[in-house]
């Protein structure tokens, strides 16, 4: 089995990976909510049980790793001794820059870092908030394409679940600054591949020529971003 074929994920495997990560994130959310309920206050803002400072809509910029379920895309091909040869292609795993918007629900202090949030022993580096919520993202300059996108700078779209982390008491931190991690469903609406009937490393059909087509591709996006 080739390395390229081994790297490909089927749609079922993609769904399984996505579901496992979402389940883990929801489990973490449940643990944080239970921890919050134990003392009747909002962790991360222990002096109040009715206010929050981090919830709502935010945005961030970052880098994403993409895993397509359909395999390699083709940028260029040629005919050599009547055999179709792909001369410029990508793998089904790529890297791109993203701009994302998210909605974080109220923050929770991580249980093992709550002691540094208040009191005389206040330690800004030992007080960490966490938040969860949905996100949507656009990808620019998909690094898995070997040539620039012909259909504009936006190459894919994604939506999924995101977790954010921050030190709320760190000097210089803004109310919305955070480091975020997300996993979501990615859609590439115009992935270029060989035209119907053309197969890489197979004879060119009689009277035919190199043709291309575009098709939508589904995959998984693993995202890391920063909010300011």
Q: What is the per-residue pLDDT across 86-107, written as a single tens digit (0 to 9) for each? A: 988 777 788 899 999 999 987 7
| Domain boundaries, given as residue ranges, for the chain | 3-227
Give the residue from 227, 67, 50, 199 showing the smallest Cα distance to 131.
Answer: 227
pLDDT computed for residue 117 by the predictor: 65
Q: Enter the tokens of residue 24.
A: 């883990």
How far from chain centre, in Å, is Cα 158? 7
pTM score of the predicted model: 0.67
Q: What is the per-residue pLDDT across 130-170, written as a single tens digit (0 to 9) for each? A: 899 999 999 987 555 444 445 568 889 999 999 998 887 77
Q: Enter the tokens of residue 11.
A: 């749609």
Write out residues in the chain with pLDDT < 70, as ranges: 1-54, 109, 111-125, 142-152
């Amino acid at each position: 089995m080739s390395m390229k074929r081994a790297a490909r994920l089927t749609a079922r495997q993609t769904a399984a990976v996505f579901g496992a990560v979402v389940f883990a994130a929801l489990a973490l959310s449940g643990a944080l909510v239970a921890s919050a309920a134990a003392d009747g206050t909002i962790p991360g803002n222990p002096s109040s049980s009715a206010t929050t400072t981090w919830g709502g809509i935010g945005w961030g910029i970052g880098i994403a790793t993409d895993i397509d379920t359909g395999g390699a895309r083709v940028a260029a091909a040629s005919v050599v001794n009547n055999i179709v040869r792909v001369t410029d292609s990508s793998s089904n795993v790529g890297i791109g820059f993203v701009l994302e918007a998210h909605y974080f629900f109220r923050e929770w202090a991580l249980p093992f870092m709550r002691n540094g949030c208040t009191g005389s022993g206040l330690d800004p580096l030992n007080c960490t908030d966490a938040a969860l919520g949905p996100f949507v993202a656009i990808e620019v300059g998909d690094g898995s394409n070997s040539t620039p996108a012909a259909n504009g700078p936006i190459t894919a779209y994604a939506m999924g679940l995101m977790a954010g982390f921050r030190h709320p008491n760190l000097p210089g931190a803004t109310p919305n600054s955070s480091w975020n991690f997300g996993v979501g469903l990615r859609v590439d609406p115009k992935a270029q591949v060989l035209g119907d009937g053309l197969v890489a490393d197979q004879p060119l059909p009689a009277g035919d020529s190199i043709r291309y087509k575009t098709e939508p591709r589904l995959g998984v996006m693993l995202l890391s971003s920063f909010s300011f």
